[in-house]
Amino acid sequence: MPVADALKLTCTACGQANRVPASRLGDAPKCGVCGAVLVNGEVAELDAATHDKMTRGDSLPVLVDYWAPWCGPCRAMAPEFAKAAKVLAQEARLGKLNTDQHQEISARAGIRGIPALILYRNGREVARLAGARPAADIVAFVRQHAR
């Protein structure tokens, strides 16, 4: 497969980097190591290592929701974020990072309030959005900034 046609996707289950043909995104590609589905329209719960691998190396845009369990607006937005993940399944990957458990990443990302959404593409931050949002706003935000 030519390099131009291959997408690099980090497995959210085991952290392994995988190469997937762009034309196969709709076929539920699986991780070559653990067999987990790589593109499934679900929100992934991220740990520090997976967060860093995805945001620095994945070919598809990655939208991370920085949240905490005690945050009411974060909990209220969770179902909307999940709806957006389903809509954006083949356009972007969505993940959540608990800022209480991963304070060093929150500090490095400059998170000052939650929920905070940061969109990464090609290893860098391209846009951020503060506050709880409905699914339609999340989808529009990704589509506007992911190109």
Question: Per the omega criterion (within 30 degrees of 0), is the bond before 2 cis?
Answer: no
Q: Which of 11, 31, 34, 71 is catalytic?
A: 71
What are the CA-CA distances from residue 108 to residues 12, 53, 60, 71, 112 (Å)?
21, 15, 22, 20, 11
Is 71 one of the catalytic residues?
yes
Q: For the sheet containing 124-130, what is the strand order?
A: 44-45, 93-98, 62-67, 116-121, 124-130
Is 34 one of the catalytic residues?
no
Q: Which are the catalytic amino acids?
A: 71, 74
